[in-house]
Structure 1
C-alpha cells in the first residue's frame, strides 16, 4: 500500500535561520583570520535586537557589529517596516574565552604523539549520515523540493520582476524575507516516489492592497484579494520555475491532483524575528534530511570543526553518499559516536534498511568501512580531508548543509580595523563522490 512522507524547509529570512547565519558568519570571520580558532557561538534575535553568546579561543579580532549588520541587510531585513533591520537593531555580545577544561581534551600536548592522537573529539555524542538514491544528489525528494521552492522564492524576491503587482504606477515585488515550505510525496511499497501529493508555501508579504475604507469588512476584502494574488503567483510563477529546473522524471511526478496550500493561516505581513524569536540550532531537521534517516541531536551552526556534532555528521554523510553512489545499497544510514577528548570513535554502525545489493550483513559492511583509510573518522583526519578550517560555513546555514553542490568561491572579508582581503575556498567538500572507486574496490563491485 502506498504511503505519504513529508519534509519542510524554511527560508534564509526565517528567524531561526537568521540566527544560524549570524553564528556561522562570525565563525567564518574568525576562521578567515585564524584557521585554528575554536568557536562555539549561539545567537538569539528578536524585535530590534540580536544577542550573541558563546566561547571563542582565537588570535583574530572580529568586527562583530558590522559583520552582523551586513548579513542582516543582505538577507533582506533592511527596512524599518520589518521592525528588525540591519542598520537599526541593537547588538549585544557576551562572547568569552573557551573553557580550559574543554580545550585540554581537544588540543592535548603529549610527547611522541601524532596529530591525529593529539586532537580529541570536542564533545561526546552520536552523529548520523544518510543517503538515498531517489534524487541525483542522494537526498530525500521531499526535502530537495522543499529547499528548491524557497531558494527560488528568494531569487524571485531579489529579482523584483515576477510575482508582482501593479500599484500607484509602480511595478514592485511584495515578497518579504520570511517563508516556509512543506512537500508531501506519495511513495509505493518499494519506497519509490509515485507523485507529488501536497505542497505548502507560506510567505511573508507586504500589505500591498489597501482597503477602500477603514472598516473590518473592507479590510477583509483587501486581504482576500492579496491572498488570491499570492496563491496565483505561487501556482503560476513559483512552481513552474521550480519544475523547469527538475529532471524530467521528477517533473512527471506533478499532476492535476496536486494539493496546494498557500499562506493557509491567511495574511502574513509581520514575520521574521519581530514575529517569532530566532535561535541558533532550532532547525536541525531542515539542516539535515527532512526527517529521514536519523539525527543525533547536535546542531551545526556556530561550531568550528573540532566539534564533532558538525564535522563528524558531514563525514558520516560522505560515507553514506559514497556507499549508495557506488552501488552498495539503495539507501544507507551511518552512525558514528565519540567520547569527549578521545580521537577514535567509540562506534561506527551502518544500516542499509534491507536495500543492500551485496551479499553482506550491515555489520560486515561497517567493518569494511571502518578499515578504509579514506573514511578515517578521527577529528583531525576529518578536518584535513574536507579542509574544514576554512571560512566555508555561512553558505551552509540556509537551505541545508547536505545535498549541496561542491564549488569554489572567492569570499571577501571587511573590517574597520584591518585591510580588506579575499580568500578562495571550496564549499560543501563532504558532498564529493571522491570515494566511489575506493568503495567499489573494497566491496568487489
Structure 2
C-alpha cells in the first residue's frame, strides 16, 4: 500500500509557503512555471558558499577538491534518479531549453539533411518547437505535426501515420505544461526507432512528478530542469545515449571542455565534460541533487497518488463553476495541471483577481502559442499542483474564482 504524503509536515520544510500574500494565506498553484524549494535545498546551497566555495575540476587545494566531489557526486545522483546506464550520459545545462538546443544544434545539424522530416506536436512548449523550426530552416527539412484528438491527446495510430522512413528526429513533450496530457513516449520511441529515427523528450513537466527510467522508456535524449522540481533556477540536465553523445560535437567552446589546445587547433575532453564549457553552475548542481534526494525520500508513488487525488478534486470543484471551461483530457488521464478560462473574463484579470485572495496561478500563452491557436484562445489561466498543495489550496482557489465571477458580473 502506498504511503500517503503528510502535506502538513511537508509544508513546514518550505519557508516561502508559510506566509501571507495580500493578507491571505498563500495558495501557491504555479509549480508548472517554477516550484518552491525546501529548506534542505536552500541549506545545501548555502553550505557550499559558506564552507567550500571554489571552482571545480582544475584546483588541487582542499576547497576545490570538496567542490569537485560534490559536483560529480550530484551527477551520480541524477544518473540514478533517471536510471541512466552510464555516468557519462548526464550533461549539466542551464535548463531544459539549453539542453534541447544542444541536441538540435549538435545532433540535428550533423544528421538532418534537406528533405528530411522532424516530427513534433502542437502541444509543445516553445523550447521544444522553436529549436526544431530553426533546424528545419537551416537544413531545408520538413517540420511535421502529429495530429491531436479533440481532448488534446495523440493516438498511436496518429503517431504511426506521421512518423515514416523519412523521419530523422521525433521531439515530443512527456507531459504538456498546458493540457496536462501524458504522452506514451515509450510507445512513440518504439515507432521512431522502427524507422531509424531518434526521439528526444522534453521532461520538464514529468521528471518532477513521476519516476523516470530512460532505459525503460528507450529514449535517445531526455531533458529536464531543476527549478520545476524543488531545485534552483539555472540548472538543467540533458541525458543522451552515450554512443550518440560521443559522436556529437560541442556547441560551446572554452575552458574545461578541452583536452589539448595548440596555437591553431584544439581537441575535446571526454564525456560529459566536452559539453560543459566554462565554470558550471556548481551551487545549482548541488541544490538539484538535494532536491532529488528530497523527492526520493517522499517516494514517487506517494507523490503521484497525492497529485492525482488533488487534481481530480480540483477538476470536480472547478467544473461546478458556471461559465468556466477546462481544457485537455479528462481528470483521470491528466497530470497535475488544470488550464481554464471564464468565457467573458480575460485570464490576466482572473489571475490578478485571485491573487488578491492569496492564490497564485499563471495566466498567458504559457510559452505554447501554437497550442493556444489550436484551442482557439489567445491565452488561458492555469493552476498546477505539487507536494505542498492540499484541498485547502483548491478550496481557496474555487472561492476566489467564484468571487471573481461575481465581481465581473456586477461590472458588466
Q: Same fold (TM over 0.5)?
A: no
Q: TM-score range by the shorter chain?
A: under 0.3
TM-score, length basis structure 1: 0.25
The structure whose residues are more often helix, as a share, is 2
Larger Rg: 1
TM-score, length basis structure 2: 0.27
